[in-house]
Structure 1
């Protein structure tokens, strides 16, 4: 029986390709963004019936052969600052490559944003298709990465500056959540998002590391006026403490003027912000902590509350809002959330706490409360 296309039949590295062709044919496999220019002999000797090659460089001879087998070949797209078929999530090093020599403007992240701005204005259907293919590939990689992991989302404003008590508190929150065995996921940008990813990075290291890192980062409080200086401070921390913990960042080039942070070990960067927003919340299966924020964070609260209210994602996702005065007075989202939660299964899955230090315990309490569906 021919293998069905699923994650077990995706090949995303050269090592995985070599392992497959040694053991049998490529029949039905999806080979994603793997450089096969040095694997001509293997391709000539292997059955590639109904295989799909997505952005895989290969020799003309090998391409002719696999096409003759009945494989579909989507060749690499030239002159792009990103790979639409990429099979793995981004890393900080891949997005910020060239930062030291050419500044942020020379990095793949900045070049992809510039391409996005240009093609969005042009209305080019080919560019639109490439963005969609890229974002779908990123979603596939993200699903593979978080499969089986208890993911907790941390939401909050991008304006939270390094060197502030609020930033330090968000970092300690990320560290506490990661040390509790949860995978921290954020919007991947600056501010509260960076702080939570920093905390997860600090989780396996000695407690004093985070205090020292906060001092280093405080010398470049914001990504304005210089993204280069802001990012360089983060890489200085990573260089001094290279054995940091894992976390996920899910930023977007839609807000490309806000750079991704360098503390998320795995970065799922999207062109489409709507796909990114929904994807982040949908994958936060262990709950979401909402730090003080503005319009974007308010939107995320109710984007998460809506499927909870309509019971469209199974068990309601625990939601913890941090800072009582912020969410009851400045931006009174909590009273409305309470009104929606009355007599609904989500009623016992929401909490409001005064400080960020209380959030981990509140989240754990909500997670331990099973609410059966009726």
Structure 2
């Protein structure tokens, strides 16, 4: 299927005189009435495209399927692109975090999920599918390495700095870092990717600025503002991806993921992240959520349902063998299978890049 996601793409197709078979997604067509009136639109689909009544009547009569925009929602279910930090945090300077698009969407999600409204459920599903499609388009041709870890890691700690150095090292190797998109270890990896074009001096200074607001509790506003202060002082950082979820909406998205695929359904988000990590997954010390992610990644490796097993690197030997003995079970699952050559347990984040290289060559 052919997709049109911008006015430029629309105008390019309009000169051919036909939109038959095209999917036009979240494009404002109110200034393109004449083009719609003279074009063939049979079997075209318009998803959330505002248009004048005359044009709307014409394309429907001409055989197009039209999904109209949904008014009075804090998000666009038909969106054609990923979110940016600026989009999700719009309004932060004026009304604090509660005024942002991210917070308002979370509030909508809480209200509608409690009501059991079938329309709201449908809109959430359409949104998540659209975001997943946009994510696939963005990641096409990229070698993605996932960095998994908990939200509790605070700025100003050596663990945070070490994870930032890991994100920077992976990005400098030409890999694309993807995380769960939230605070803590996830933010640290995304921040490291952002810092990749800069020198060690920037890294140290930026870490000091961030340490002034170590956690998103008690104030998401102050925590996010510190991140935006770093972005403003050092613009044009490296690009990485975050995949957060409004299911855990009390954990805000971190502003260092330059492209954000935020989902309503956590299961869609979890599988969407791990299935796209073609270059492997790094698991930092974490609790229940990270343990779940280890075995979510291990299952397709075990069955080889996605082809060759993707590398898996667990960081912190004591954590994964004594505190939460995940490693022995993972080894037992891998025994005698191709995935056995694609898993590793290392002592620190400094060992991760070499481990990924070794597993990739295995």
Scaled to the shorter chain, the TM-score interval is over 0.9
Q: How do 1:240-279 residues align onto structure 2 when only pairs under 5 Å count?
A: 240-279=233-272
Question: Structure 1, unaligned stretches of length 5 or more?
Answer: 370-374
Question: What is the TM-score when the length of structure 1 is the normalising length?
Answer: 0.96
| Correspondent of 2:221 among 228, 237, 241 | 228
Whether 1:104 and 2:101 are equivalent positions in the alignment is no
Q: How do 1:148-187 residues align onto structure 2 when only pairs under 5 Å count?
A: 148-187=141-180
Q: Secondary structure at the match of 1:213?
A: helix
| Correspondent of 1:280 among 263, 269, 273 | 273
Give the corresponding residue for 1:316: 309
Q: Secondary structure at the match of 1:73?
A: strand
Q: Pairwise CA RMSD of aligned residues?
A: 0.8
Instruction: Map Cα deviations across residues 231-257 of structure 1 (whole Å, 9 max, x no partner).
Output: 000100111111111111000000000
Instruction: Map Cα deviations across residues 52-96 of structure 1 (whole Å, 9 max, x no partner).
Output: 100000100111111121101111001101000000000001100
**How many Å separate the matches in 1 of 2:113 and 2:55?**
36
| Correspondent of 2:355 among 354, 362, 366 | 362
The range that moved more, 199-208 or 275-284, is 199-208
Give the corresponding residue for 1:84: 77
Q: Secondary structure at the match of 1:188?
A: coil
Please report how far the alpha carbon of residue 206 of structure 1 lies from its aligned counterpart in structure 2 after TM superposition: 2.3
**How many Å separate the matches in 2 of 1:265 and 1:32?**
22
The range that moved more, 79-88 or 42-51, is 42-51
Instruction: Map Cα deviations across residues 86-110 of structure 1 (whole Å, 9 max, x no partner).
Output: 0000000110000000100010100
Q: Secondary structure at the match of 2:82?
A: coil
Instruction: Map Cα deviations across residues 277-301 of structure 1 (whole Å, 9 max, x no partner).
Output: 0110000011000011111001100
Q: Secondary structure at the match of 1:185?
A: strand
The range that moved more, 10-19 or 127-136, is 10-19
Question: What is the TM-score when the length of structure 2 is the normalising length?
Answer: 0.99
**How many Å separate the matches in 2 of 1:19 and 1:161?**
49
Whether 1:53 and 2:49 are equivalent positions in the alignment is no
Whether 1:219 and 2:207 are equivalent positions in the alignment is no
Please report how far the alpha carbon of residue 24 of structure 1 lies from its aligned counterpart in structure 2 after TM superposition: 4.2
Please report how far the alpha carbon of residue 42 of structure 1 lies from its aligned counterpart in structure 2 after TM superposition: 1.4
Whether 1:17 and 2:10 are equivalent positions in the alignment is yes
Please report how far the alpha carbon of residue 22 of structure 1 lies from its aligned counterpart in structure 2 after TM superposition: 2.4
Whether 1:189 and 2:182 are equivalent positions in the alignment is yes
Instruction: Map Cα deviations across residues 167-199 of structure 1 (whole Å, 9 max, x no partner).
Output: 000111000001101110000000000000001
**How many Å separate the matches in 1 of 2:223 and 2:139?**
28
**How many Å separate the matches in 1 of 2:10 and 2:304?**
41
**How many Å separate the matches in 2 of 1:13 and 1:232?**
31
Which structure 1 residue ranges, 4+ long, deviate > 3 Å from structure 2?
A: none
Instruction: Map Cα deviations across residues 288-342 of structure 1 (whole Å, 9 max, x no partner).
Output: 0001111100110011001111111100010000111111111111111111111
Preserved CA contact (<8 Å) 2:17 2:38 = no
Q: Secondary structure at the match of 2:49?
A: coil
Preserved CA contact (<8 Å) 2:143 2:278 = yes
Preserved CA contact (<8 Å) 2:145 2:177 = yes
**How many Å separate the matches in 1 of 2:42 and 2:231?**
45
Q: Secondary structure at the match of 2:15?
A: helix
Preserved CA contact (<8 Å) 2:147 2:284 = yes
**How many Å separate the matches in 2 of 1:352 and 1:176?**
19
Number of residues of Structure 1 aligned to a counterpart in Structure 2: 362
